[in-house]
Chain A
Amino acid sequence: MSEKDFAVPQKRHMGLKASKIISNTSIHILLAVISVIWLIPFVCILLQSFRVESTYQVGYVIPKQWGFDNYANLLKTDFPRWYLNTLIVALCAAVFQTFIVLCMSYALSRFRFKMRKPLMRFMLILGMFPGMLTMIILYRVLADLGMTQANAVPGLILVYIASSGMGYYVSKGFFDTIPKSLDEAARVDGATRLQVLFKIILPLSKPIVIYTILTAFMGPWGDYVFAQYVSFGTSAGKNVAVGMYGWLTNDQINKFYTSFCAGGVMVALPVTVLFMFLQKYYVEGVTGGAVKG
């Protein structure tokens, strides 16, 4: 074989390699640009939260004087109360909602009972209606129960966990991929249904458990509309989103702008930390349940 025989495939090979490098580089440049654009507001808020020379809005980003005054000032406002309210609601919702969703998903994945499929379809269709539609009636119910305004926290917890069973779809899809013979083997080995769930199914479903906890936590943590609707007229029942929104009115913004930025950082902090630690599982959870289910 002459050298010429190799020339064409080699040229093709080089061409493929070069086009791969070009396409990879352009994708990375594009992603880097998108990331920078996406990060700009966050960086601005972070920098503004350390600005101590003035509290009003200014036309520059990098502070002239740096300090933690804005964070200290937060303690002089109702911010700690709002933060605690939000934390209580989000944690309670995360715990109860996760428990309910996982039990519901396990039951729908493993038990065969009459009306199972109609029930699943019914919940799927019900979930398609926007939550806003129920706000008026939910407010009436909460008002009758005395769970609005200053007592909004238990009311909000109740609302967030009440319909959580409907979010069974992703985790049920994940459970469906775990062979039923594992349940059966465990039951023959002497386990109860609850032991099967906690000792076999959940350890095998770590990504989906973490996904469920995170989504259950995130909902109430960033909620504004419903919290505003229930906790109006009093500072005691507000969450951070509702409370801090009050600082953005025309007469307040110049007094609280930098505090608002510091509060924003405080709100983002736990979620960012959670995501950094659980990111791997979160992505696995979303794709694992969706694709296999």
Chain B
Amino acid sequence: MASVKLTGVKKIYDNKVVAVHDFDLEIADKEFVVFVGPSGCGKSTTLRMIAGLEEISEGTLEIDGEVVNDLQPKDRNIAMVFQNYALYPHMTVYDNIAFSLRLQHRPEDEVYEKVTNAAEILGITEYLMRKPRALSGGQRQRVAIGRAMVRNAKVFLMDEPLSNLDAKLRNQMRAEIILLRQKLNTTFIYVTHDQTEAMTLGDRIVIMQDGFIEQVGTPTEVFEMPSNLFVAEFIGAPKMNIIKTRLECKNGAYYVTPFGVRIPVTGEKAEALKEKGIGTQDILLGVRPEHITLADPDCESAIPCTLEVNEMMGSELHLHVYTADESRLIVRVPTIDLSAATRRELVYGKALQITFDSKVMHFFDPETKKNLLL
């Protein structure tokens, strides 16, 4: 159990490519932090720098108040779970889990106790004498977690541990990691490109792009108040709809005009805009697919559009629609809200009306792409 502090951490490769720029982050003791971002954003590199597998080019890394920049991985008291499990193929599951303990020359009784204890928690006791090749993907990942568990490390690092598993197993293992976290009660740093994993696992999420931190916050914060367009589009599935439009301010009243339809901005959003002193200007308006609803034709703020694709997801429909000016939008509609007759009518070419409320709107500057309300 320990805190981790990164100050101005930078990774510059020999070919002068900068993979991570001035990374500043304080991770509290027992906190579960998730680094998330698209491929090549520097999240794994940052994790590997914390593990000691990559050299830190600039800046300092502290674990429990001690600068560990120049320490070998084995001296940092960390445990790590790799994306491809990285189990030693020539050793049994027992020997794999016991490897680190034996390197520390712990008595064999203690090794036995710790290995069997970890195996019991992870439900792999019956496989202890098997070689990794005789295990399924999920079992292998459990062994990898077990290997990290027995070390009683200060910090638990996980590098996309679920990305090699199939969708069903991934959901199951995600739940198991949440339970494991409660049992181990230690500091976790978890890397993933899957925003669902980030949202469900993390106390805080660090969203990265091109080596920069875009936003750090709780899952609710990053979802409800994304700091910029990248975060807004990255968090949430399907991604947020972005509409190029204009914010009008007349006599203290705000409204937006997406696709020529006037939608008033009221309540908290209007207050916030007023507080920030924002007047009439071009904006990028963000609306999440689940916040758009199908409207009646006589609704004042209804935007006419045409259905292009209807994706049946089980509990909900993902409707891909296009407007008069050929802009594409996605609408998420719970199946339960629609009658069977309406569902049958939702086919290619069907004319629809959609609308959304001002309380679910996000306003971004078209130049800086930053959230206007932050």
Contacts and interface: CB of A to CB of B under 8 A. Distances in A.
Contacts of A185: 80, 82, 86-88, 147
Nearest to B147: A189
Nearest to A182: B86
Interface string A164-201: 00000000000000010110111111111001000010
A187 B86 CA distance: 12
Nearest to B159: A181
B84 interface: yes
Nearest to A189: B100
B74 A190 contact: yes
A175 to B, nearest CB: 14
B265 to A, nearest CB: 51
B90 A203 contact: yes
Nearest to B99: A189
Contacts of B90: 203-204
Given A181-B82, A195-B103, A188 B88 contact: no
Interface string B26-44: 0000000000000000000
Contacts of B89: 204
Contacts of B137: none
Given A182-B86, A182-B88, A188 B99 contact: no
Given A203-B90, A204-B89, A204-B90, A188 B84 contact: no
Interface in B28-68: 51-53
Contact of B74 (A112, A179, A181, A187): A187
Given A184-B53, A186-B99, A191 B86 contact: no
Q: Name B's interface SS.
A: loop
Contacts of A190: 74, 100, 103-104, 151
B79 interface: yes
Interface string B176-195: 00000000000000000000
A204 B131 CA distance: 13
B73 interface: yes
B220 interface: no
Interface in B155-188: none
B78 interface: yes
B49 to A, nearest CB: 13
A188 B87 CA distance: 13
Contact of B72 (A182, A187, A203): A187
Given A189-B147, A191-B103, A184 B74 contact: no
Contacts of A200: 88
Contact of A181 (B52, B86, B104, B151): B86
Which among A184, A188, A190 has the greatest number of chain B C-beta atoms within 10 A?
Answer: A188
17 contacts: A179-B86, A181-B83, A181-B84, A182-B88, A184-B73, A184-B80, A184-B82, A185-B86, A185-B147, A187-B72, A188-B73, A188-B74, A188-B79, A189-B74, A189-B103, A191-B74, A203-B90
Interface of B: 14, 51-53, 72-74, 78-80, 82-84, 86-90, 99-100, 103-104, 147, 151
